[in-house]
Structure 1
């Protein structure tokens, strides 16, 4: 399959003075995860790193006000679309429940959709996602790029983040929330002072994927009660508190009716 060369691999959008959204627009919407660069006084954080199709670190350093400042990779969870670039960073943080999966990724590691099990493909269709392409990308980052040479490369955690821990940037402090249900070690970053929540795949404004329905329902009830001002999810556009409650209220009856 011959694919065009993308004009640029990463799309960036400044959300506020210290937060930049990065996307891979040529990745299938199912695996097109949000990456958030959060710049602080003393250190910066990149929350998730996409698929790892093209190098991310040089793009981040070009965006940062001070590329010499420490930069930590925080993984909201260890799925392929969130840890693709984790090996590019010296400081790598994740919940202990998924540290092994980040160190040695399991499951889908290639760009071939045929590697997805039939029941997994059906789960995505049932959730509302469009059918997968033969390849998970519709362009390549440079001439001569071989999609079949891609292999998700993990990296061991250098630190662990659990419920109640703090991610301290110097002038901003985020509390770690353990938000399982989509994955066992899913986490969010919560800044109570501003009401800003980076929620990973626990909640976003698109088709949600509950792997453990009963556990996921508890997570969504918890999120519904948070006094958020804005939610930056792992996929799709950011949203406010009213939309958060609407998403939860629409999803909970399905989860509560699900077996198990």
Structure 2
């Protein structure tokens, strides 16, 4: 039985929010998903291929809502395969992720539904996040049934490794393997502009390193690697983007905490 109360309001209008940041970059979010599960979805327009970095919770169709942004071809990349980042991947013909995350994307458990999620009963620590109720603050339609939602299996067409290059024709990103939050977490690094898409390796919010497959020692090594990057801007998996000084503050705070 769903834990979501029947009194949730219904969204009047679009489920997704779109904000153009210039230079072919659009931030897409799901405003009515609670912050813990509200992933930043990044659309990068390329000359030869577009890239969607993460796809959100999948409550509503990301592909249909975003078609006005897409060029002739689009690929969906998963920074990692937690449910709040891969809900819409099954809608895309081209799906990319790190080799260690690929089994999770191919073998998603369709028996698990949003109706099963109650943030009051998490099996992992999420300090700093509100965990007092359901995953949504509104429904996308009056007849929306969360018990019919699931993470659907996707076809992985490219397994990525550290050092691989994502070539969009006019933009090139290096794949950085950034384990710790999950074994196959990755970021995308554009050296030319100093831009990092970091996924959940780092964001300006409470970092989660106590998940069943998290590795704090690996996370510390990832933080050391991020500290060495000549970053101009970080577009993360959650919360607002930030610059190099804030990145250094976040990294040092994490390292101080883990060595205390």
TM (norm. structure 2) is 0.91
Cα distance 1:42–1:247, how it changes in 2: closer, same or farther (>3 A)? same
**2:11 corresponds to 1:6:** yes
**C-alpha distance in 1 between matches for 2:142 and 2:123:** 35
* Stretch deviating more after TM superposition (1-10 or 89-98): 1-10
Aligned-residue CA RMSD in angstroms? 1.7
Map residues 1-260 of structure 1 onto 2, 5 A cutoff.
1-2=5-6, 3-7=8-12, 8-64=14-70, 66=71, 69-105=72-108, 109-111=112-114, 112-114=116-118, 118-120=122-124, 123-124=125-126, 127-133=127-133, 135-210=134-209, 211-257=214-260
Secondary structure at 2:100's aligned position in 1?
Answer: helix
2:37–2:84 contact (8 Å) kept in structure 1? yes
Q: How many residues align?
A: 249
Q: Which runs of 4+ in 1 moved over 3 A?
A: 106-109, 114-119
Cα distance 1:183–1:14, how it changes in 2: closer, same or farther (>3 A)? same
String of CA shifts for 1:135-168, please: whole Å, max 9, x gaps.
2111111221111211111213111111000110
Measured after TM superposition, the shift of residue 118 of structure 1 is 4.6
**C-alpha distance in 2 between matches for 1:132 and 1:230:** 33
**Structure 2 unaligned residues grouped into runs of 5+:** none
**Structure 1 unaligned residues grouped into runs of 5+:** none
Cα distance 1:115–1:29, how it changes in 2: closer, same or farther (>3 A)? closer
2:120–2:131 contact (8 Å) kept in structure 1? no
String of CA shifts for 1:43-96, please: whole Å, max 9, x gaps.
1000000000000011221133x3xx1100000000000000000000000001
Cα distance 1:59–1:251, how it changes in 2: closer, same or farther (>3 A)? same
**C-alpha distance in 2 between matches for 1:116 and 1:103:** 29
